[in-house]
Structure 1
Amino acid sequence: MPTVNAVPSNPPQNDLRQQATHTQAKINVAAAQKLIQNEQYNESFLLLRDALQDPDSIDDVRTMALIHFPDLYMKMALLEDVELAARTYASEDVSPDRLPADLDYRMGNQIWGKPKARRWMRTWQAMIQVAVMMGDYGRAIALTTEILRINPSDNMGMRYTFGSILLLSGRIEDALSFSLAWINAKNGTPLRGGCAFERPTGAPLSQDVLTFHRVKCPWVVASEHFLTAALAAFRLWGDCGLARQCLSMGAHTCPIVMRRILGGSAKPHGPWIGPSDAGPEAARDYLWLAQDFWTTPNVLAWATSDKEVKDMLLQRCSREGCHNRETSIFGFKHCGNCHNKIYCGHECQKADWPLHKPSCRFVYRRYRGLEKKRVVPMNKLVSRVEDALIDCPHNIEFRLRSIYTSSDEDSD
């Protein structure tokens, strides 16, 4: 029986239509980037909104709205369009409106494991940041509460700023309840991601909880929870045992925050958006949100009167064998190159240079490589940043630097 050559079938019309939509969306995003460079934001807004017809452009448009548009209301308007497109796209995997009220750890992780739902939740994350910048704390709280309800294990790290947002809105008891929920959960996941908002009693933390966070697993709960709890407890009950415990733990887990507050550093003008090695820049977002609370006269006087906290914050000279210690915060100067070492004077810095030079040069080369590196095109940067966010959202600053400088680490 003679063989009949198979005739290649034409691609389905739906595939052709999707390919055309994808191509047009890429053209629109590229054109919008050029318009943004010329500060033609209204024209770029329309192009980016049209690009949302392609689901693959959702991340590009969201990032451009968050970074490149100077007007906050235009940012939010475009992000609302992105959220609608992302929600429609996510409904193919999960129906956001049909989720139960209380999701357990397992179900929350299943939702986070769906890439389409994850893209939709990250759009909410961008809307929360813009809402805070606009002073719309009610909207930021509503969105954060919903994210933590859907994903109580908080893979996006929303819990690290939520307590400060609650304080900004005047919900002092809820801020304390939220922070204590994560502190007392230790390595677990509290109900609704800490948003059950049970009325706090003011009882001190148990010794078991303090030992866990100070000795066993100091990295589990960030210092923001302890500092938020300290502020809220002091606002509610004054200089109580719970407030002193949380203040001490906050200074122990992240002393750079308290050093900046008690040292009189200027408040950051906005959130940190550059790369970082989880160094002093890690304190920037918290100080941007909460520094005004700490600089009020009664709170500042209370924090500075705690001798144990001040002893934690005063640093010693980095040169081995030198036992000099600061008498006031920022009394010693950091290495001007890497900012990682601190010296009591020029003689100690000069004597320590042979030992410090290798690590100092390494850090300097990374920063120099960052300055030399050309900016990654937006469509490539977004995909690489999103990949970095999947597994470890709290270390995104370090991963961002890796994206920019990985090819420069071995260059002289």
Structure 2
Amino acid sequence: MSLGRRGTRLLAALLLPAVSAVALATPALAAPDQGPPPSYAGFRLVKAIPGESGTPEITLPAGYELVPGAAHQVASRAEYYSFIRGPRREAVTVTVDWPGSWIGSVVATDTRLPVRRHPGAPYRISFDVPVTWPSANANQATLQVWSILSPSTASGLHWRIEHNDPDRMAGPWSGDGWPAAQAASVINYMVAGEAVLRDSGLVAEARRRGHFFSLMGFETNNVLHPDNPPHWHLAYYPGASRGAPRAHVPHFWVDARGRTFYNGMDVQGQGRSRYHAGDPARIHDLDGNLVVTLTIRADGGLDIDPPAGPRYSITAPDGDFSHQVDVARDGVPWRSVVSRDHVKIGVLVIQVKEHGTVRPHRTTVHRYDALTGVLTSTWPTPG
């Protein structure tokens, strides 16, 4: 039976609301499940003998890839470091072919990974690496070669020594020449700074308040953190961690003789202030009370002034802070510091002398893993 044109229009008018209601009630299609974000891992391939830099062939399992970019695939005379990403897994097998380069060790974070050799393929190795980091940047520990001499912030002082090897330099350092004098000077500064902080009572007061000072240097192989130009830190954190509010972090830049010529001091929440010779850089606590004043000297040294005194002055007897630094207390010669860091064998020797004496006040020998910086022994034993 035909409804005719008028009947057809009437039926359509009756059905349209129901069709519209069904359409409105239909749920939108859910976005496809993207899955969990990738995890990351870094590793360092260390040559048995440093030589010309090169690029190995890295083979990964299905689902994993190299993180692209010059900051994530980096060559030096001694090493090649790489970052990979893919599904989170505690052990991912990586195979490396590097014709002509014998890989002596593989390092991830502060661990030397077990290496498997391949019979008949002398330049091929395999190893398992945990792919567990949330980003490549979070896994900078793989690239950092340092020793923690005072690990607990609860002690009032956190202190680490960066071990810089000319065969590992990369990134901005590759074309700038090796900053040998700066690297040695920074260690001398930190040894002197540690003596001052303890003798002055500043460390004890920081510990009493649940705060801490931090002594740090600079790195020459970590392209994720291009620590350039050479500098060191005598920082103050008014809290129990590096997340403490209003932390003061000076950056003392040093020249080719280790002389300090600039301090860019970051204050959390306030940005960076700039200081030069003669400009007092004052560090305050959360209540605005003065903690210590740091002033670059005209001779390239540093004056450290606790609020109640005395003044401590770090200088170099021959103007080269990489050779030796002297410390005066209230204008009177007090201590001298000489340090030598033998990065190839992992031995740091620190000698501190009382002024006017021949025998050392203290000689300390720190042995560490030359590829990770992890301390293996300290002589004499602390305490």
* TM score, norm. by length of structure 1: 0.25
Structure (1 or 2) with the larger CA radius of gyration: 2
More strand by share: 2
The TM-score, its normalising length taken from structure 2, stands at 0.26
